[in-house]
């Protein structure tokens, strides 16, 4: 095997892990989706303090807080359910 061929093979082998999507990518996508759900929930269904209206769901309010703390996996299903139950369209998941 020539030197240039060895270099090419080495470069391909070393670059392969960088080209594959990993758990960090999925986690950041979940975090972004959770943030989008939280924002939409807070905007449309969160507590309106100026009128004293109670929040629609205590579970969803806790999920918003957990999402902000980094627990996207536990928060996403709760927020999706709250938004769907109130007939709001879910934000796109990337």
Length of the chain: 94
Q: Give the DSSP H or E segment for 37.
A: helix 23-44
Q: Where are the domains of the chain?
A: 28-94
pLDDT in tens, the chain (94 residues): 665 555 545 544 455 455 545 454 556 899 999 999 999 999 988 765 555 555 567 899 999 999 999 999 999 999 999 999 989 999 998 7
Rounded (5°) CA angle 16-22-28 = 140
Distance CA 4, CA 7 (A): 5
Structure pTM? 0.66
């Amino acid at each position: 095997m020539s030197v240039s061929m060895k270099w090419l093979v080495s470069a391909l082998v070393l670059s392969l892990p960088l080209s594959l999507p990993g758990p960090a990518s999925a986690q950041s996508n979940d975090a972004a989706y959770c943030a989008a759900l939280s924002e939409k929930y807070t905007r449309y269904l969160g507590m309106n303090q100026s009128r004293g209206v109670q929040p629609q769901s205590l579970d969803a309010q806790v999920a918003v807080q957990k999402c902000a703390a980094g627990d996207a996996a536990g928060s996403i299903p709760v927020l999706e359910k709250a938004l769907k139950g109130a007939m709001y369209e879910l934000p796109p998941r990337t």
